[in-house]
Structure 1
């Protein structure tokens, strides 16, 4: 375990590995910026709005969830081109978690800026269409997909519950959701998550400075510790997709030390899956 990037994020989130650029990207939501590195050199894109999650379209463009909706970010010049307005007229909410699915779609969530109960929702973009899938929910998080693309996972951090639900061949939800994990009794708050190549659910636990892995039977199999208390989002990457990047947050920590809000990298001992491309 080591610090990958010592730039402190107010709220690190939305980590993913870009398979064509071979770089990790992650957001500082409250800092209104996207961070990365190239050859160890820090990179940063600053925005005029909060942004929180992205999927890659091609080498040079990302589809980004922002507080006013979806936009295409051109990495070369940092420009944002709006694609779809989502809750743009609601000053009480912002975007939160998000991840590309294996059918070329992109799921993203919204929530109250102060975590107000029931202000959140989960949406999906698919080939030009944005559809609201779930509301109300308080802090929607942990959006990630099974290796075969047939199951979505998502959580309400506030309740400590993770659900899973089936998806059809186009990636739309079918049937009733089922409780996959109830972490409320342990006092654990599931935040960002990613699925590994074996189908394990690897979830950052807010407040615990850790990523925990659970198998298909909801049994905990692994725990990776990081130095930042508010671990917020993991992503597999690196040459063989065995490195695990973990974002953390300064938000909500009194008298933080230098480790809080930094971004960590460790050897997971497991393999991840390539992040899918978003199809416009």
Structure 2
């Protein structure tokens, strides 16, 4: 897959682009600049994204219905009015801990949201992964450094996640009816070479996991059995999160970041922070709606 054409979906250079998702009802891609405290919105046929400033760092967006979205932010889950942008706190999440913020997350087919928290400076062990569904929240995995790669198999029976700090992509059996674990996490892929860190992932309709590898500029593909079966070079070193876009979920966009790069490194990585689109037909899936 090394000859795949990679184009620029948005030329806005995010300090820390993350949390890419797509709403098929409106034909719109959404993603965040976490450190820039902004939400970006781009219909797939628009020339460029619209930037919505936020009052805090946020990282995950899920559709509730045609009018509302659920946003994971620095101190909790917020309901966002899609048209006005008005935010209202729905459920606190580590609101008492000013040292943490939200990070990666996705919605399970049952409507459950898995969402991670982490130290604002990426400190080891300060974060956790939570499950939220229909007003109930549970902490699933504490002691996480940088939670990432949260995604689910098409049948809703497997969840994937990682702590980017330990280079191990995990899988765990879950209840397809509610998205809760029913077993202990098992190793899915051991990234022993440490050529970059395992960042955001998404699972396609065939059960393959597509992962953005931070620091390497690569989008890797893993078969359901845990074998890496392909890698695609992206136009920035710090790629962060893929998402399927289009009415048939047959394209991929990938966010990236320039956070942490020196001036010299940014000159060597001129597209850092932009969002990319792959000229690669895929059998993707649209994100489910979250059950508020």
TM-score by length of 2: 0.93
Q: 3-state DSSP class of the match of 1:158? A: helix
Q: Does 1:14 align with 2:19?
A: yes
Q: 3-state DSSP class of the match of 1:199? A: coil
In 2, distance between residues paired with 1:88 and 1:247? 27
**Given the alignment, which residue of 184, 188, 192 partners 1:184?**
192
Q: Does 1:26 align with 2:31?
A: yes
Structure 1 residue ranges (4+ consecutive) displaced by more than 4 angstroms after TM superposition: none
Q: Does 1:170 align with 2:178?
A: yes
Q: Does 1:243 align with 2:255?
A: no
Deviation at 1:41, TM superposition (A): 4.2
Q: 3-state DSSP class of the match of 1:239? A: coil
Normalized per residue, the structure richer in strand is 1
Equivalence for 1:53: 60
Deviations 1:100-141 (A, max 9, x none): 111011111000011111001000110111111111111110
Q: 3-state DSSP class of the match of 1:175? A: coil
Preserved CA contact (<8 Å) 1:242 1:267: no
Matched ranges for 1:7-156 at <5 A:
7-38=12-43, 39-156=46-163
Aligned residues: 280
- CA RMSD of the aligned region, Å? 1.1
In 2, distance between residues paired with 1:64 and 1:184? 34
Q: 3-state DSSP class of the match of 2:35? A: coil
Preserved CA contact (<8 Å) 1:13 1:232: yes
